[in-house]
A and B are shown apart, each in its own frame.
Chain A
Amino acid sequence: MVKLDACGLSCPEPVMMISKAMKSGGKEYEITVDNRVSKENVTRYAEHQGYTVSVTESNGEFTLKIQK
């Protein structure tokens, strides 16, 4: 699984990070963001790419598990 830390970054950077990572064609990613906009945008992008996304929130940070 590829793990990415996008905390503190604002969009479009978190989406660009996951987009770049997905070019490797992997099936499982985990990305941590710390704002709702990034959570929504990364989720929308991953779902558009055919992945399913599950989100867990802890202490203001969102961990998105992205799987195909």
Chain B
Amino acid sequence: MKVAKEKWMIIIAGLVIGVIASALVLLGNPKNMGFCIACFIRDTAGALGLHSAKGVMYLRPEIIGIILGSFLLSLAKKEFSPRGGSSPMTRLVLGFFAMIGCLMFLGCPFRMILRLAGGDLNAILGLVGFAAGIGCGVLYLKRGYSLKRTYRLPVSEGSAMPAIAVVLLILLLAVPSLLKFTAATEENPNPGPGLLHAATWISLLAGLIVGGLAQRTRLCMVGGIRDAILFKEFKLLLGFVAIFAAALAANLVFTAAFSGTYFTLGFEAQPVAHMDGVWNALGMLLVGFACVLLGGCPLRQLVLAGEGNTDSALTVVGLLLGAAFAHNFGLASSGAGPTDNGKIAVIIGIIVVTAIGEFNIRSGKAKG
């Protein structure tokens, strides 16, 4: 009975999250980008001046909302648990390369589902690579991969990331002039996805709800496929499927009911996407591999950071650094396709993540 209740909870949460994601596009977010943890962290990096790509600068309230939604609900449910110390620098590096993979594909695992639900068939190649990457990670888990144990930490330490989220919210609401925002000009009326967003309070509310639901249900895009391979446990995968189904249905309804088009089946001219199948797959392979070694997808890292997990907070910092590097050094793809620098970075990422896997296998002789 309890297992059935858990499964229904995650299905309902997935359905709600899928509808919210599609509604955010209707209300102003870029197409197929109601939520994208990677894109939104990239835009936030731009808003904070960590990179200078003018098309992707906006302090996304959804990110703040997810962290605070998880924080508030974990407090209410007495699950706020400050802890850390499980190979923090390794996690930062894994977060960095997970972002490099995301920006090769142009989306995190969450957006991969939303791209599929918007009819973007390029995301199928991403999904194939993602599943392959998770398979690589699972091989290491089976060989005894571990980033070692966490330790309990003071409340002040565990509260740092939620506090940072509050500060960012205050900056956005009270002194937005300190931040950088994508702006349209006469010469360039469509500078990039940073220009497109729902109203601040709507984005914040959506983030709070999704953060809360993900905290309660432990929703994780990587965990779904990982647990299905490892234990034939499909609970988390149900959330994944529910988000896809709800977003697809909502996109079709919105296309029928409103003037815009929210579902276009095909490979060509998809919003914020490119058609290089090999690199879409390799980018998401890197994401799946790195996230299995991290123990969760970028969404899950935000949620855990909100629950007081400082290892996940550092992973989020790694994601932010990865986004800044990707745009400062020409690693991120665009609608035109991947860059040579990006391809080299993804290959380096796969090598580094493999090395991290090898160096962290517990053997009988290993100490600590």
At the interface, yes or no: A26 with Cβ under 8 Å from chain B? no
How many angstroms from the CA of A22 to the CA of B153 in the assembled complex? 33
B233 at the interface (CB under 8 A from A): yes
Given contacts A15-B231, A16-B230, A48-B233, contact A10 B150 (CB under 8 A): yes
State in angstroms the CA–CA spacing of A15 and B295 once bound together: 13
Which residues between 32 and 90 of chain B lie within 8 Å of chain A, taking CB atoms?
79, 81, 83, 86
Q: Which residues of the partner chain A approach B218 to less than 8 Å between Cβ atoms?
A: 37, 40
Residues A10 and B86 in contact, CB atoms below 8 Å apart: yes
B141: interface (CB < 8 Å): yes
In the assembled complex, the CB of A61 is this many whole angstroms from the nearest CB of chain B, namely 11
A 10-44 binary contact with B (CB < 8 Å = 1; else 0): 11110110010000000000000001110010001
B230's nearest neighbour on chain A, judged by CB, is: A12
Q: Are A9 and B146 in contact, with the CB atoms below 8 A?
A: yes
| Inter-chain contact A11/B295, CB cutoff 8 Å | yes
Chain B residues with CB under 8 A of A7: 149
Assess whether B86 is in contact with A8, with CB atoms less than 8 Å apart.
yes
Residues of B within 8 A of A8 (CB): 83, 86, 148-151
Taking CB as reference atom, which chain B residue is nearest A10? B295
In the complex, B366 has a CB within 8 A of chain A: no
User: Are B86 and A16 interface neighbours, CB within 8 A?
Assistant: no
Total contacts A to B, CB within 8 angstroms? 46
B276 contacts the other chain (CB 8 A)? no
B209 to chain A, nearest CB (A): 21
The verdict on B3 contacting chain A, using a C-beta distance below 8 Å, is yes
Residue contact A44 to B3, C-beta cutoff 8 Å: yes
Known: A37-B218, A44-B235, A47-B3. A12 touches B226 (CB 8 A): yes
Interface range on chain A (Cβ under 8 Å from partner): 10 to 19
CB neighbours of A11 from chain B (8 A): 223, 295
Taking CB atoms, residues of chain B closer than 8 Å to A9 are: 146, 149-150
In chain B, what residue has the closest Cβ to A16? B141
| Contact A36 B151, beta carbon cutoff 8 Å | no
CB distance from A50 to the nearest CB of B (A): 13
Query: How many Å from the CB of A51 to the closest CB on chain B?
Result: 14
Residue in B86, B152, B231 with the greatest tally of chain A CB atoms within 10 Å: B231
Cβ proximity bits B179-210 to A, threshold 8 Å, 1 near / 0 not = 00000000000000000000000000000000
Find chain A residues with CB under 8 A from B223 CB.
Answer: 11-12
Q: Once bound together, how far apart are the Cα atoms of A47 and B6, in whole Å?
A: 14
Please measure, in the bound complex, the distance between the C-alpha atom of A40 and the C-alpha atom of B86, giving whole angstroms. Answer: 21
**Chain B nearest CB, measured from A21 CB (Å):** 14
Judging by beta carbons under 8 Å apart, are A44 and B86 in contact?
Answer: no
Write the B218-234 contact mask toward A (1 if CB under 8 angstroms, else 0): 10000100110011010
Residues 288-304 of B, flagged 1 when their CB comes within 8 A of A and 0 if not, give 00000001000000000
User: Is A36 within 8 A of B79, CB to CB?
Assistant: yes
Pick from A10, A15, A44 the residue with the most CB of B within 10 Å. Answer: A10
A-facing residues in B118-158 (Cβ within 8 Å)? 141-142, 146, 148-152
CB nearest neighbor in B for A5: B149
Could you name 8 residue pairs across A and B whose Cβ atoms are closer than 8 Å? A8-B86, A8-B148, A8-B151, A9-B146, A12-B226, A12-B227, A16-B230, A45-B231
Which residues does B use to contact A, with CB under 8 Å? 3, 6, 79, 81, 83, 86, 141-142, 146, 148-152, 218, 223, 226-227, 230-231, 233, 235, 295
Instruction: Please provide the 8 A-B residue pairs with the shortest distance between their CB atoms, ordered closest to farther.
Output: A8-B149, A8-B150, A10-B295, A9-B149, A37-B218, A36-B79, A13-B146, A44-B3
Other 7 A-B pairs with CB < 8 A, given A8-B86, A10-B150, A37-B218: A8-B148, A9-B146, A11-B223, A12-B231, A44-B3, A45-B233, A47-B3
